[in-house]
Amino acid sequence: MNLHEHQTKAIFQRFGIPAPMGKVATTSDQAYEIAKELGGVVVVKAQVLAGGRGKAGGVKVAKSPEEAREAAGKILGMKIKDLTVHNVLVDPGASITKEVYLGITNDRSSGKPVLICSYEGGVEIEEVAKTHPELVIKEPIHPIMGLHPYQVMNVASRANIPREYWQEFGDIALKLWQVFLQNDAVLAEINPLVITGENKLIALDGKMGLDDNALQRHTDLADLRDLTAEDESETQAREAGISYVKLNGQIGCMVNGAGLAMTTMDMTKLYGGDEVGPANFLDIGGGAKADRVAAALRIILSDPNVKAVLFNIFGGITRGDEVARGLLQAYEEVKPNVPLIIRLVGTNAKEGREIIETAQLPNVITASTLTEAAQKAVQAAKGAM
Amino acid sequence: MNLHEHQTKAIFQRFGIPAPMGKVATTSDQAYEIAKELGGVVVVKAQVLAGGRGKAGGVKVAKSPEEAREAAGKILGMKIKDLTVHNVLVDPGASITKEVYLGITNDRSSGKPVLICSYEGGVEIEEVAKTHPELVIKEPIHPIMGLHPYQVMNVASRANIPREYWQEFGDIALKLWQVFLQNDAVLAEINPLVITGENKLIALDGKMGLDDNALQRHTDLADLRDLTAEDESETQAREAGISYVKLNGQIGCMVNGAGLAMTTMDMTKLYGGDEVGPANFLDIGGGAKADRVAAALRIILSDPNVKAVLFNIFGGITRGDEVARGLLQAYEEVKPNVPLIIRLVGTNAKEGREIIETAQLPNVITASTLTEAAQKAVQAAKGAM
Amino acid sequence: MTILADKHTKVIVQGITGREGRFQTRLMVDYGTQVVGGVRAGKGGEWVEGVPVFDTVSLAVEATGANCSIIYVPGVGATDAMYEAIDANVPLIVCITDPVPVMDMMKIKEYLKQKPEIRLIGPNCPGLLTPGQAKIGIIPGYVATPGNVGIVSKSGTLTYEVINALTEAGMGQSTCVGIGGDPVPGTNFIEVLEMFENDPQTEKVVLIGEIGGRAEIDAAEWIKRHMTKPVASFIAGRSAPPGTRMGHAGAIVEGGEGSAEDKMNALRAAGVRVADNPEEIPGLLK
Amino acid sequence: MTILADKHTKVIVQGITGREGRFQTRLMVDYGTQVVGGVRAGKGGEWVEGVPVFDTVSLAVEATGANCSIIYVPGVGATDAMYEAIDANVPLIVCITDPVPVMDMMKIKEYLKQKPEIRLIGPNCPGLLTPGQAKIGIIPGYVATPGNVGIVSKSGTLTYEVINALTEAGMGQSTCVGIGGDPVPGTNFIEVLEMFENDPQTEKVVLIGEIGGRAEIDAAEWIKRHMTKPVASFIAGRSAPPGTRMGHAGAIVEGGEGSAEDKMNALRAAGVRVADNPEEIPGLLK
């Protein structure tokens, strides 16, 4: 789960990282009022969970409240990488002498968090890492001992930060580690960390990603989730305890298990080629109770692109006949108007298939192998297009 | 540095440990008012940094505000182990079904904190440890990983705590660890942890000792020091940066270095026998600047028992002639009226001794060995008695 | 011989009194696994599915001589359960629980460096299955049959598919190991591949991977250098868009790293036969 | 041969730009100690007492090949300084700073279990002196003279007394080690006794203890079992009242444990000659 800039900077402030921050506006009039209150030059920034905001015109400098209103009017409602901008942050302007990158993320290979710093900040750190890897300083953090103050001085030295800023820089880096640690973040990034004209360091922009696996112990953070920033169907799925990601294809997939769900997607793409592909990732979890199946089916069908639905259920713990009965019940409730391709494997799979075939539902096709099921789904989707 | 019961319980409450707590009274009228406000039975408890408070009559149950006034009147001003009671805590009464001991302290041998629990609480844990060691359960705590929840269940199981209290007990034990850790305590003790008539666990009494070495990072805790609970001269010494402990003998000691200071005490006792001994421990620290020597001399002489003062300075870094000049200056400022035995060793010791001898101060005796100095101090003290 | 577990492995179940723990205990017992005890603080002395419950892991180990623990403790309690098993020096620990915070796993992995004699598998994994001998986890026992194919996988149901396909093709399995799809797993591909390489019963190996991280690429490098037995592989997530997590905490292509294509290419370069479709796996092993 | 340090030991000074660090650096250099560098973040490139300053320990070690670090960093910064030296794998670390919180020391000691090749001496100690070769700490060099008596002590000035008394009696010292008076010291008596036992130059040993804890009693037990060289001892604090801390963080008799009498008795029972007065020590070693 990712946080918006204004949410991230509010957390930064709570941990003592200097992050100049204005207020969030949802209308251009609000932006006018905030700019008036702040006085002077302001920056109007789209609050959207996507990179490349600046290039897309989502950040504008305004020299007066009127200009702020105008800028907000242009940014609000704008689409950045498929996401609509619902909020802008109106921030006080800052004089910028130098932009530095400072972030913490997890390194999967070493199993350790890593502090990353580049004196060449302000741009995508991945870009700098590719073009000038020697300018990207990485310092591994001992997961148990945490980030030591001496390490931060090491980083300041290696990154060629001017000495007069070491103390301030070290202080901010240690606080960023606390932000990362205490919020179970997977990313906590200040980009840019700015040296101002007044020779102060401030976090001008910030980004945080949280560990979804840890939200169970951060209910306050879980509440920060911006539902307007995701597809409504994804919200519904999460509330139903279903793992769902909307995609752009035509074949709805309902699968148990994440690995098998990805594989099912891959098979529809493999046999669908450029014309037909997966409409979603969906892992329904263990078993396949009728109400959960019905909820999943409704979510899949809420996507108007869906021309066929592929059920691929490996009856491990749950028996195939039970799954089949659950499917029939869900079918009755939802009454889908697109073809359903059903593949049952595992315990009592044969009995399950018999139950479904006996029911003789319109638009229901059974398959026994994954290949067969995927091919039939592709065929059905193409036929309906 | 030790905390009073009411200070400890306030910390317990802040960390979520249920600790029923009334208010502190310094007069019997205040005790009356608090008892009236609390209603019902109250307990009036001397707030004094010494054990054996109950046996000394420092804890009384009062069934009415009038009784509370009377009890406070008896307890306030009472002396418990040489310490005058200046405050009482008026606590609401509690029904007690069972008293349990729960504490955390450091085990010096293993270099680890240790959780100690006994289902036979309410008495001195050292006593139980001697008479029934099998009833005292000890669980070492990994200094870096901290106390794991599973360990607390291990303790509950081994201590034979009834199962219905495990959850609550575990919760309190884990919070006690946080109290210990986050305050840099060397002791955090609930004794008794009480099972009430309502089947709840509450911390009826609490004791905390703080690591003096860590007070530099807990200025809020350092402010909790009760100056009325220590000798005024000890307060003055601490403020002057001098390590000082008042004792009951006749020979004031002024020494540089803790080990040598103890040794000097030991020597006065060795040669003074039952009649004469050390009046204090005093480590003046590195060097011996005149103002610090003067402050130390004043503190030593503020004790009316002192009949002689023994200076024992090993001039390591500081040169002996400098020390001698510092001593003379301090002498001029303080003008002591008891004999001063001065021993200088180390760098330029001879020059130092010459300076002192040349000054021909009344009541000043020099010595070259520790034995000689201690013997002369004993002699001088006896002569003045 | 098999790797990690066989019919002599004595298993305790942490979280045995929970819904999932109780249910899975029955399935493990039914399969013939030697489940010698369960653990749940406060429930010591009870019995679940014919298995005695103890208050702590140390008590359970002491009483039963268990040398393996499987963890079904739900939520954040799983982390504590792992520490309890580690501190009780249980040599094989299998954690089924999902989700476990990644910071907890990084700490545990670091802590385990001091205890190289302990092997942790998982979390967020289906556990182990040594067909005909021991089921330590949730892999459905009936789809498997004893044989000489070793399987190591990040996925649950996808593994069942492959086991099923192998069994239907008449190819039995030596041991099936689900290492889980978390970014920082207790045991990685290479560690299991090394065990298979050294296991006389295992003659062929299947590696089932997915998008995210570079574990499959590291495995490919290891295979190239050290593996003498034939390896077939399937990588899930070729059609997943970058920057989006696909169910598993670790299944995400980030910063240009972790794509299925890169992994498949690395494996092919290491001489691994890579399937486009998991149903091709038995054919690739013939 | 001597223990821990000799004229070849290359020393860096952490906290060299502070008042104490600067002053002590001069004394160490004057004594002939090979002080090859100093460390203070932000002051790299400066010079103190003819010694080059580096920003970090790793930079200092890399540039100078130092194999010892002495820490004068004041306050809580000393803890970080110890970690920096440990993580830079400096094999001998001497921490003079007082006070260091006991919880910090417990963590550091635990952390050091993973790095057995590193020896930490202190904190709150006067450091080491190998007479005529190296002064790594604040023990006044001129009182000592080379010889065959090894000294290990919890105390500072009391040690200077004993060194002085030995020198005046014509008995030189091999190495003098101040382990400090903290409850959880980096190095304890036994570790130093073992080094003396194995050091050909050391023929006799002096152990200077004080009230508090049971380090002297553990040492007595070790001496009884392993020590072949004669040991003399003095224990400070016989006249200290129980329950009161005497200057050093560790110097307190608590819960009936740590009294001077118990320690003296244990040492006597181990064949150690125990002095009533530190000035008797030279006589007891003759």
Co-location of D262 and D148 in the same domain:
yes
Q: Please enumerate in sequence order all residues whose Cβ is within 8 A of that of A274, keeping only pairs 6 or more positions apart, or say none.
A: none
Co-location of B335 and B361 in the same domain:
yes
- Name the catalytic one among B5, B67, B101, B168: B101
Q: What is the CATH number of the domain that holds B144?
A: 3.30.470.20
Residue that is last in its domain, among A43, A61, A92: A92
Co-location of C105 and C170 in the same domain:
no
Q: Provide the chain D residues 176-195 that lie in CB contact (below 8 A) with chain A.
A: none
How far apart are alpha carbons A69 and A52 in whole angstroms?
A: 22
Question: What would the pLDDT profile of A26-73 be if each residue is shown by its tens digit?
Answer: 999 999 999 999 999 999 999 998 878 888 899 999 999 999 999 999
Report yes or no: B111 at the A interface, CB cutoff 8 Å.
no
Q: Is pLDDT above 70 for B143?
A: yes
CB within 8 Å: B145 and A145? no
Query: Given this model, what pLDDT does residue B123 score?
Result: 73
For residue A300, the one-letter residue type is I
CB within 8 Å: B150 and C57? yes
Co-location of D104 and D145 in the same domain:
no
CB within 8 Å: D183 and B106? yes
Domain-embedded: residue A3: no
Co-location of B85 and B108 in the same domain:
no
Residues of D in contact with C111 (CB under 8 A): none
Domain-embedded: residue C264: yes
Co-location of A380 and A259 in the same domain:
yes
Determine which of D157, D162, D168, D259 to mutate to test the interface with B (most B C-beta atoms within 10 Å): D157
What beta strand segments (E) does chain A contain? 2-3, 23-25, 42-46, 59-62, 79-80, 83-84, 88-92, 96-107, 112-118, 137-140, 185-196, 201-203, 206-210, 243-246, 251-255, 280-283, 308-315, 340-346, 364-367
Q: What is the CATH number of the domain that holds B372?
A: 3.40.50.261
Beta pairing, strands D273-274 & D231-236 = parallel
Counting every residue written for chain D, the total comes to 286
The count of other CB atoms within 10 Å of the CB of residue B235 is 15
Cis-peptide into C123, omega within 30 deg: yes
Domain-embedded: residue D132: no
Which tokens in the block code for residue C14?
Answer: 């942490």
> Which of D114, D144, D20, D105 has the alpha carbon at shortest distance from D71?
D20
Co-location of A58 and A114 in the same domain:
no
Determine which of C98, C100, C158, C234 to mutate to test the interface with A (most A C-beta atoms within 10 Å): C158
Q: At what angle do helices C57-64 and B149-158 cross, to 10 degrees?
A: 60
Q: Is pLDDT above 80 for C7?
A: yes
Query: Given this model, what pLDDT does residue A353 score?
Result: 87
Looking at the complex, report in whole angstroms how far the Cα of residue C117 sits from the nearest Cα belonging to chain B: 20
Residue that is last in its domain, among B65, B92, B119: B92
pTM of the full structure: 0.94
How far apart are alpha carbons A175 and A186 in whole angstroms?
A: 15
> Which of A26, A16, A14, A81 has the alpha carbon at shortest distance from A54?
A81
CB within 8 Å: C140 and A267? no
Question: CA Rg, chain A, in Å?
Answer: 25
Question: Confidence band (pLDDT; 50, 70, 90) for B349?
Answer: confident
How far apart are alpha carbons D181 and B113 in whole angstroms?
A: 19
How far apart are alpha carbons D272 and B320 in whole angstroms?
A: 34
Residue that is last in its domain, among C121, C154, C180: C121
How far apart are alpha carbons B127 and B150 in whole angstroms?
A: 28
Domain-embedded: residue D201: yes
Number of domains in chain C: 2
How far apart are alpha carbons B46 and B52 in whole angstroms?
A: 11
Residue that is last in its domain, among B41, B74, B92: B92
How far apart are alpha carbons A366 and A354 in whole angstroms?
A: 10
Report ipTM (2 d.p.).
0.94
Report yes or no: B216 at the C interface, CB cutoff 8 Å.
no
CB within 8 Å: B111 and D161? no
| Residue A209, domain extent | 96-222
Beta pairing, strands B2-3 & B206-210 = antiparallel
Which tokens in the block code for residue D10?
Answer: 């290359």
Q: Is pLDDT above 80 for A318?
A: no
Query: Given this model, what pLDDT does residue A293 score?
Result: 86
Query: Given this model, what pLDDT does residue C1 score?
Result: 61
How are strands ordered across the β-sheet holding C34-39?
A: C47-48, C51-54, C34-39, C10-14, C68-71, C92-95, C119-121
> Which of B270, B249, B305 has the alpha carbon at shortest distance from D238?
B270
Question: Confidence band (pLDDT; 50, 70, 90) for A351?
Answer: confident
CB within 8 Å: A157 and D41? yes
Domain-embedded: residue B14: no
Residues of B in contact with A145 (CB under 8 A): 144
Q: What does pLDDT average to over chain B? A: 92
Question: What would the pLDDT profile of C17-47 be if each residue is shown by its tens digit?
Answer: 999 999 999 999 999 999 999 999 999 999 9
For residues C4 and C60, is the Cβ–Cβ distance under 8 A? no
Which tokens in the block code for residue A79?
Answer: 């689409």
Question: Confidence band (pLDDT; 50, 70, 90) for A373?
Answer: very high
Co-location of A154 and A125 in the same domain:
yes
Query: Given this model, what pLDDT does residue A383 score?
Result: 86
Co-location of A60 and A198 in the same domain:
no
Q: Is B142 helix (H, G, I), strand (E, B) or coil?
A: strand
Which tokens in the block code for residue D25?
Answer: 């650096």
Q: Please enumerate in sequence order all residues whose Cβ is within 8 A of that of A210, keeping only pairs 6 or more positions apart, or say none.
A: A1, A2, A3, A183, A184, A185, A186, A218, A221
Co-location of B169 and B206 in the same domain:
yes
Residue that is last in its domain, among D121, D149, D167: D121
Residues of C in contact with D114 (CB under 8 A): 113-114
Co-location of A260 and A349 in the same domain:
yes
Query: Given this model, what pLDDT does residue A341 score?
Result: 95
Co-location of B255 and B351 in the same domain:
yes
Co-location of D146 and D43 in the same domain:
no
Domain-embedded: residue C3: no
Co-location of D82 and D159 in the same domain:
no
Which of A148, A154, A166 comes nearest D42 by C-beta?
Answer: A166
Counting every residue written for chain A, the total comes to 385
For residue C207, the one-letter residue type is L
Q: What is the CATH number of the domain that holds D149?
A: 3.40.50.261
Domain-embedded: residue C4: no
Question: What would the pLDDT profile of C208-242 be if each residue is shown by its tens digit?
Answer: 999 999 999 999 999 999 999 999 999 999 999 98
- Name the catalytic one among B5, B189, B234, B322: B189
For residues A45 and A88, is the Cβ–Cβ distance under 8 A? yes
Co-location of D241 and D175 in the same domain:
yes
For residue D205, the one-letter residue type is V
Co-location of B66 and B103 in the same domain:
no
Q: What is the CATH number of the domain that holds C51?
A: 3.40.50.720
Mean pLDDT of B240-263: 93
Looking at the complex, report in whole angstroms how far the Cα of residue A14 sits from the nearest Cα belonging to chain D: 24
Cis-peptide into D74, omega within 30 deg: no
Domain-embedded: residue B5: no
For residues B180 and B188, is the Cβ–Cβ distance under 8 A? yes
Counting every residue written for chain C, the total comes to 286
Report yes or no: B214 at the D interface, CB cutoff 8 Å.
yes
Q: Is pLDDT above 80 for A251?
A: yes
Report yes or no: A360 at the C interface, CB cutoff 8 Å.
no
Beta pairing, strands B59-62 & B42-46 = antiparallel
Question: What would the pLDDT profile of B96-131 be if each residue is shown by its tens digit?
Answer: 999 999 999 999 999 999 999 999 877 778 788 888
Report yes or no: C47 at the A interface, CB cutoff 8 Å.
no
The count of other CB atoms within 10 Å of the CB of residue D198 is 10
Identify which of A222-231, A375-384, B123-132, B327-336 has the greatest average pLDDT.
Answer: A375-384
Report yes or no: C146 at the B interface, CB cutoff 8 Å.
no
Looking at the complex, report in whole angstroms how far the Cα of residue D157 sits from the nearest Cα belonging to chain B: 5
How far apart are alpha carbons D158 and D260 in whole angstroms?
A: 16
Beta pairing, strands C92-95 & B340-346 = unpaired
Q: Provide the chain C residues 108-147 that lie in CB contact (below 8 A) with chain D.
A: 113-114
Q: What is the CATH number of the domain that holds B53?
A: 3.30.1490.20
Question: Confidence band (pLDDT; 50, 70, 90) for B11?
Answer: very high
Q: Tens of pLDDT along chain D (286 residues)?
A: 679 999 999 999 999 999 999 999 999 999 999 999 999 999 999 999 999 999 999 999 999 999 999 999 998 899 999 999 999 999 999 999 999 999 999 999 999 999 999 999 999 999 999 999 999 999 999 889 999 999 999 998 999 999 999 999 999 999 999 999 999 999 999 999 999 999 999 999 999 999 999 999 999 999 999 999 999 999 999 999 988 888 888 888 887 789 999 999 999 999 999 999 999 999 999 8
Query: Given this model, what pLDDT does residue A287 score?
Result: 60
Beta pairing, strands A364-367 & B23-25 = unpaired
> Which of B102, B99, B175, B164 has the alpha carbon at shortest distance from B139?
B102
Report yes or no: B142 at the D interface, CB cutoff 8 Å.
yes
Can you give the three-state secondary structure of D110-148, one letter per residue? HHHCCCCCCEEECCCCCEEEECCCEEEECCCHHHCCEEE
Residue of chain A whose Cα is closest to the Cα of D43? A163
Co-location of C100 and C189 in the same domain:
no
Question: Confidence band (pLDDT; 50, 70, 90) for A315?
Answer: confident
Domain-embedded: residue D127: no
| Residue D115, domain extent | 10-121
Tell me which residues of A are annotated as active site. Answer: 101, 189
Domain-embedded: residue B17: no
Co-location of D29 and D113 in the same domain:
yes
Co-location of A87 and A104 in the same domain:
no
Question: What would the pLDDT profile of A150-163 be if each residue is shown by its tens digit?
Answer: 999 999 999 999 99
Mean pLDDT of A232-241: 88
Co-location of A81 and A120 in the same domain:
no
Q: Is pLDDT above 90 for A169?
A: yes
Q: Provide the chain D residues 88-107 that lie in CB contact (below 8 A) with chain B.
A: 98-107
Looking at the complex, report in whole angstroms how far the Cα of residue D273 sits from the nearest Cα belonging to chain C: 42
Tell me which residues of D are annotated as active site. Answer: 248
Query: Given this model, what pLDDT does residue B317 score?
Result: 65
Query: Given this model, what pLDDT does residue B383 score?
Result: 86
Report yes or no: B242 at the D interface, CB cutoff 8 Å.
no
Cβ-Cβ contacts under 8 Å between A and C: the total is: 171
Query: Given this model, what pLDDT does residue B121 score?
Result: 76
Residues of D in contact with C114 (CB under 8 A): 113-114
Q: B271 an active-site residue?
A: no
How far apart are alpha carbons D147 and D141 in whole angstroms?
A: 14
Co-location of C237 and C273 in the same domain:
yes
Domain-embedded: residue D49: yes
Query: Given this model, what pLDDT does residue A323 score?
Result: 81
Domain-embedded: residue B39: yes
CB within 8 Å: A126 and C255? yes
Report yes or no: B182 at the C interface, CB cutoff 8 Å.
no
Co-location of D182 and D281 in the same domain:
yes
The helix (H) or strand (E) run that includes residue D69 is strand D68-71
Domain-embedded: residue B7: no
Query: Given this model, what pLDDT does residue B346 score?
Result: 79
Co-location of D170 and D54 in the same domain:
no
Which ranges in B289-319 belong to alpha helices (H)?
Answer: 290-301
Q: Is pLDDT above 70 for C191?
A: yes
Number of domains in chain B: 3
Co-location of C76 and C165 in the same domain:
no
